[in-house]
Structure 1
């Protein structure tokens, strides 16, 4: 067998009087039944220092680790593919600036549109967002989403462009699912699902439409903006590199709410809203 290494987050520990145990990526401990296998040799194999034998007890244990997903012989950090490096960022600099830094560190090539020239509700067309042939468009708002602002952007997946966004409503910020292909969850879908899930749907719709009266403004702190930017960059990086989902809900079916008072993140499943069939015409 070829050499393999434990995947990040998986570790093996020697427990006095009980042999070896594996600590999984979820933080659970599982005992290793290695029978009469040499523990030092097993640790050497699991660390990738030596190739595992094709048969025998050591080979059996290593194959079990492979089957459980605890070992890898592939690249740990896949590179951001060139075809998906061009990422267009729109919105508030308090969010787009840290996001651009995260994306550049991951291997993308972000292009930031200053907020003063970002498309507005009345003039945005899908063609405007496709200018320069970006692989993805990310739009960050430090406030609620005005009616119609993201209608044109919701059509980006139909043109093969990934679409990701976030916005803030008071002390709550929302990181919406990444939409990469037709049929993925759009901003309009999230809006409809949120209205359907609350008994205060009239109030929520009125809040979105405005006007709103506020006291002292909520200001995004650097840690809060950094957290939102990190969540967006991670979602985009997983899409770009095809990294597998490791925990929680799938990124393209997940709405995350960040409580900006304590930076608590909660996840909510969200599905596309099926198209409504037109009412049949009645005779007469």
Structure 2
């Protein structure tokens, strides 16, 4: 004979007590993993309902404490403490959304205007967003961040197109200047690209909801991959991402760094 399945929330956690048709109580953790309980009291479900005390209530307290400890460890795996200080440069709805989303997942955000003179000393990651060439005017200077141990991530618009540069972690990764140079070298119209980079006007079309979601998803994926040190990190350090809302196309392009040209000495 099978018993009726029951699902009860575990207090002060995201876990649930699940008693399946086999009658065996398990805890479903927030991660989706099911854990079989070790010698639970028969009236554990009554303790969860607040109508039991003694051994069952004590077991429930110890169980809740252990689950909370696991959930705290999960939060640290999702975003390690030493990488939570994130500086956002730029303004607008996309930056506001990114700040809200990163904060919800544990980042400690400092939001600055693109003209801000100083990056916080404790910043582990700087993320910049620019609507036009004017908003990117400091990026060559900020390319010095990775050699100093600060990760550097750039997203920007070119007209209606949206691009996200490779993630720069150290001095061996592509800089903003190198990404532009690589794109010009691969283009059939390098002079036009250079002219656009220098003086293109701000786009007169607002980023639509679908485009904003795609860009935010890509940024979150890159940032969390960096925070966790996941295996995909190396690929993201050499990948330029591009969204063309007019056609709905999303593409990736390999961008490799190159040595800086040696300084010429006049004699």
State the TM-score, normalizing by the size of structure 2.
0.66
RMSD after superposition = 2.8
Aligned to 1:119: 115
* Matched residue, 1:240: 227
Quote the offset at 1:48 in angstroms.
8.7
Give the aligned partner of residue 188 of structure 2: 199
- The correspondence for 2:160, drawn from 159, 171, 178, is 171
1:175-211, Cα deviation, whole Å (9 max, x unpaired): 1111011111111110110111112111111112226
Matched with 2:252 is 267
- Separation in 2, partners of 1:134, 1:162: 9
Identify the residue that residue 107 of structure 1 maps to in structure 2.
106
What SS class does the counterpart of residue 225 from structure 2 fall into?
helix
Report the structure number with the largest CA radius of gyration: 2
State how many pairs are aligned.
Answer: 198
Q: CA separation in 2, counterparts of 1:179 and 1:199? A: 27
**1:145, 1:167 within 8 Å by CA — same for their partners in 2?**
no
Corresponding residue SS for 1:220: coil
Deviation at 1:252, TM superposition (A): 0.4
Choose which of 132, 139, 145 in structure 2 pairs with 1:143.
Answer: 132
Alpha carbons 1:163, 1:179 under 8 Å: kept: yes
Higher relative contact order (CA 8 A, sep 6+): 1
Runs of 5+ unmatched residues, structure 2: 1-32, 37-73
Inter-partner Cα distance in structure 1 for 2:188 and 2:260: 23
Distance in 2 between residues matched to 1:279 and 1:118, nearest whole Å:
33
**Offset of residue 119 of structure 1:** 1.4
Partner of 1:250: 235
Calculate the TM-score normalised by the size of structure 1: 0.62
Deviations 1:16-35 (CA, angstroms, capped at 9, x unpaired): xxxxxxxxxxxxxxxxxxxx
Unmatched segments (≥5 aa) in structure 1: 1-46, 51-74
1:88 aligns with 2:87: yes
Partner of 2:145: 156
Contact 1:89 1:112 (8 Å CA) reproduced = yes
